[in-house]
Structure 1
Amino acid sequence: MDKTIYPGRVRGTLTPPCSKSYAQRALAAALLSNEVSVLRNVEYCSDTRSALRCIETLGARVSRTEEDELTIEGGLAPAADVLRVGESGLAARLFTPIAALCAKPLRIEGEGSLLQRPMGMMTEPLRQLGVRVRDNDGFLPLGVCGPLRGGEVTVDGSVSSQFVTGLLLALPCAEMDTTLRVHDAVSTPYLDMTIDTAARFGVEICHNDYSEFYIPGGQRYRAASFDIEGDWSAAAMLLAAGAIAGEVTVGNLSTLSRQADTAVTTALVRAGAAVIHEAERVTASRRPLHAFEFDATHCPDLFPALAALAAAAEGVSTLRGTSRLPLKECDRAEAIRSEYGRLGIEVDTSEPDVMRIRGGSIRPATVSSHGDHRMAMSLAVAALRAEGPVTIRGAECVSKSYPGFFEDMERIKISMA
């Protein structure tokens, strides 16, 4: 699907989807409980649907009791031998260790861009924990047969925190206690989300500065009932739109959230935008924007929103942490460089782990989403201050995290630029 964005000013209040990161963790924990849990404020982007499909395959009984409410009767008892994770990297790396709790061969299959994303970091640690693993040269599909027994294991955390999350949620159900050592842990706020989710279900996980985790075995997940908080990753795009082209208030946001992308408010303030925090909502308003520096190593999903912000700021902004970007839905560093280049914005990625963006005028162009939901949203936000229409090819990919993004953007547009 092609989507043409016309320049314009924005003003209004929006509520982003629920955090798919929290939703997937909560769904996994509900599966591992043998009791009945209730999750509210659940919205059905494609990644959340993938997680739902996984827990049902693994034995959960799910009822949609309200439009945004799920009742989940947990219990790990696989109903099939293939786990289909769609294009969700988190689902692949989260549910593989959980599937490995089962003394039954299970196959994990993905599709689309996920088939090119690395999964090799899971193979040896799972084997050390007693799991038989059928590898595919480090990529999906792969097969596992447990049970995951616990013990001592070391994991490379430099590529992604998602597999660590899967282990942290699965290992409390193992027979033995586990000491999990993580080298070069990245995206540590996401690990905080995992520990928080486990605690809500009555499970204890201890750690020493994210480098060593102690997980008592033989624990039981208890039922939980809570609301899934709003998604700061989606909110970052909306707040960037307000800072660039008017004023946007985003609701259902916890300013005390453990989500990594709460850091967007720091970047907005550094760029000169006006940011107001209120109870469960944040407002970003346009002011003269200037170049800023920001390290997004632990919140790499912010890069596309920060690129739109930097393109609107006077001077050269410096963003650090680009080493986290090649293994996303696309190589986001290269996608930002090429597509913003089509819009007339100079993006320099020649220095290791650094991206420099020179702000300037946005020219009309046809650009590509690269099949990446965050790239599509980033380009749409940047287009608000373009000198003419910007057409985004492959815009349907926003369904991965924010299916109603373009409709919401139209709701808050108040005039042409």
Structure 2
Amino acid sequence: MKQRFVIFLKGDDCLSTIAVFRQLGVAIELEADCVRVHGQGIAALRQATDILDVGNSGTTIRLMMGILAGRPFTSRLTGDLSIQKRPMNRVIAPLTLMQATLKAQPGGLAPVEVNGHSQLRGIHYDMPVASAQVKSAILFAGMQSETETTVVEKEKSRDHTERMLQQFGGEIAIDGLTLTLKKQPELQGQDVYVPGDISSAAFFLVAASLVANSQVRLTNVGVNPTRTGILEVLAQMGANITQTANKTTGEPMADLTVSTAKLTATEIGGSLIPRLIDELPIIALLATQATGTTVIKNAEELKVKETNRIDTVATELQTLGADIIPTADGLIINGPTPLHGGLVSSHGDHRIGMMLAVAGLIASEPVELADAAAITVSYPTFFEDIAELAK
């Protein structure tokens, strides 16, 4: 069993977010093991002299739209080719109701121009989709609005924004799926410990479950209840995994220990989907090695990620010999099916790339991954860490 400790994740998404805030006048120091943000309050944000480029980060562009909606200047946001294909109307619609003016390309695509309004109006908004990005954009705008804002979620989505707002001294009322907040008092800077990302940990949880004679311990992984769907699915499928809680003043975290296990199929859908949406590609790989038929449903959101992950997961795993069928809202996977080698591609999607790299650990022949550089978006040392654990 090996342990590896990591420092601040210098993934492309994190670095793109830092670059955007620097363009808006925020002083940020990037050190070896932490980031120091010298905040002066939201009123201190200034108009950027150039377009704001979020790279591949859908979270950054959507949350920035909410922040900039209440600033009295014009901003333009764009990203890479993947970002320019992802839907922005789901954020533009509620922010427009709050009196901000946003202009997108045909089809509601980036680049997006945000003409902020210094006196936003609060709204009551029933979320048409379960999306933490959309919810957070509305909350960031609502923090600046003159009247109360209420968001009613379709399903419970990840709540990192709500937790961090409270940690920084903000006020938000949470009643089940209903969130209410008013214009916020001045927030106070805090020391924030960010646990390990469970979406990144998921690849090692699956690898250790599938590779013979494995045991891996992952330390200080975030186990926020809105993100732990992957742990529930692993348990349902018979994975050998234990969880040891660690003390924290912010996001809950734990050490996770996982070892090889014989797996059985399961059904994944409903309210569980928002709690593991980013982990579904690697769960699909896990299901190829489980006994029986695994059904993933109610996962239409996979179609509007960096790729159409329903089709991409099915196509790439079929190339390696998996018995997997795409559906309108998910996947049907029959197992266990031995995987062979072949040429596959990430299609520019970091989570697809990492999933296929893990598939290479159990394939009978070499797996060649095209466009592996996409993985640096969220996990630049992924291949180093895989190699270290494989020794």
TM-score by length of 2: 0.89
Which residue number in structure 2 is paired with residue 357 of structure 1?
Answer: 333
Contact 1:14–1:248 (CA under 8 A) maintained in structure 2: no
Distance 1:157 1:86, change over 3 A: farther
Uncovered stretches (5+) of structure 2, i.e. residues with no partner: 246-253
User: In the alignment, which of 371, 378, 388 is matched to residue 355 of structure 2?
Assistant: 378
Which residue number in structure 2 is paired with residue 23 of structure 1?
Answer: none
Which deviates more from structure 2 when the two are superposed, residues 152-161 or residues 321-330? 152-161
User: In the alignment, which of 240, 257, 282 is matched to residue 256 of structure 2?
Assistant: 282
C-alpha displacement at 1:353, in angstroms? 2.5
Contact 1:100–1:148 (CA under 8 A) maintained in structure 2: no
Contact 1:193–1:258 (CA under 8 A) maintained in structure 2: no
Distance 1:98 1:371, change over 3 A: same
C-alpha displacement at 1:259, in angstroms? 4.9
How large is the Cα RMSD of the aligned pairs? 1.9
Q: Is 2:375 the counterpart of 1:398?
A: yes
Contact 2:131–2:157 (CA under 8 A) maintained in structure 1: no
Which residue number in structure 2 is paired with residue 115 of structure 1?
Answer: 84
C-alpha displacement at 1:275, in angstroms? 0.6
C-alpha displacement at 1:258, in angstroms? 4.2
Supply the distance in 2 between the matched residues of 1:398 and 1:121 (Cα, whole angstroms).
27
Which residue number in structure 2 is paired with residue 144 of structure 1?
Answer: 114
Q: Is 2:308 the counterpart of 1:341?
A: no
Supply the distance in 2 between the matched residues of 1:289 and 1:50 (Cα, whole angstroms).
39
Supply the distance in 2 between the matched residues of 1:268 and 1:251 (Cα, whole angstroms).
18
C-alpha displacement at 1:395, in angstroms? 0.9
Supply the distance in 1 between the matched residues of 2:257 and 2:125 (Cα, whole angstroms).
42
C-alpha displacement at 1:51, in angstroms? 1.1
User: In the alignment, which of 149, 153, 178 is matched to residue 148 of structure 2?
Assistant: 178
SS in 2 for 1:222: coil
Which residue number in structure 2 is paired with residue 316 of structure 1?
Answer: 293
Uncovered stretches (5+) of structure 1, i.e. residues with no partner: 1-10, 18-40
| Counterpart code for 2:66 | P
| Counterpart code for 1:291 | A
User: In the alignment, which of 264, 267, 280 is matched to residue 233 of structure 2?
Assistant: 267
Contact 1:232–1:259 (CA under 8 A) maintained in structure 2: no
Distance 1:79 1:354, change over 3 A: closer
Contact 2:265–2:287 (CA under 8 A) maintained in structure 1: yes
Which residue number in structure 2 is paired with residue 247 of structure 1?
Answer: 215
Q: Is 2:257 the counterpart of 1:291?
A: no
Contact 1:323–1:353 (CA under 8 A) maintained in structure 2: yes
C-alpha displacement at 1:254, in angstroms? 4.0
SS in 2 for 1:56: helix
Which residue number in structure 1 is paired with residue 100 of structure 2?
Answer: 131
Q: Is 2:58 the counterpart of 1:89?
A: yes
Residue pairs, 1:211-222, within 5 angstroms: 212-222=178-188
Supply the distance in 2 between the matched residues of 1:269 and 1:181 (Cα, whole angstroms).
32
Supply the distance in 2 between the matched residues of 1:229 and 1:347 (Cα, whole angstroms).
33
Which residue number in structure 2 is paired with residue 104 of structure 1?
Answer: 73
| Counterpart code for 2:197 | D
Count of paired positions:
371
Which residue number in structure 1 is paired with residue 248 of structure 2?
Answer: none
Which residue number in structure 1 is paired with residue 250 of structure 2?
Answer: none
- The one of the two structures with greater contact order (alpha-carbon pairs below 8 A, sep at least 6) is 1
| Counterpart code for 2:139 | L
Deviations 1:7-59 (A, max 9, x none): xxxx53345x6xxxxxxxxxxxxxxxxxxxxxxx5321011111111211222
C-alpha displacement at 1:159, in angstroms? 6.3
Identity %: 28
SS in 1 for 2:188: coil
C-alpha displacement at 1:278, in angstroms? 2.1
Which residue number in structure 2 is paired with residue 193 of structure 1?
Answer: 160
Residue pairs, 1:9-88, within 5 angstroms: 12-15=2-5, 41-64=7-30, 66-75=31-40, 76-81=44-49, 82-88=51-57
Supply the distance in 2 between the matched residues of 1:154 and 1:278 (Cα, whole angstroms).
38
Deviations 1:222-258 (A, max 9, x none): 1111211110000111110000012221112144x24
Distance 1:124 1:288, change over 3 A: closer
Contact 1:173–1:219 (CA under 8 A) maintained in structure 2: no
Contact 2:56–2:82 (CA under 8 A) maintained in structure 1: yes
| Counterpart code for 2:3 | T
Supply the distance in 2 between the matched residues of 1:275 and 1:214 (Cα, whole angstroms).
37
Contact 1:311–1:382 (CA under 8 A) maintained in structure 2: no
Contact 2:135–2:151 (CA under 8 A) maintained in structure 1: no
| Counterpart code for 2:173 | C
Contact 2:302–2:309 (CA under 8 A) maintained in structure 1: yes
Contact 2:293–2:334 (CA under 8 A) maintained in structure 1: yes
C-alpha displacement at 1:292, in angstroms? 2.2
| Counterpart code for 1:77 | L
Supply the distance in 2 between the matched residues of 1:139 and 1:153 (Cα, whole angstroms).
25
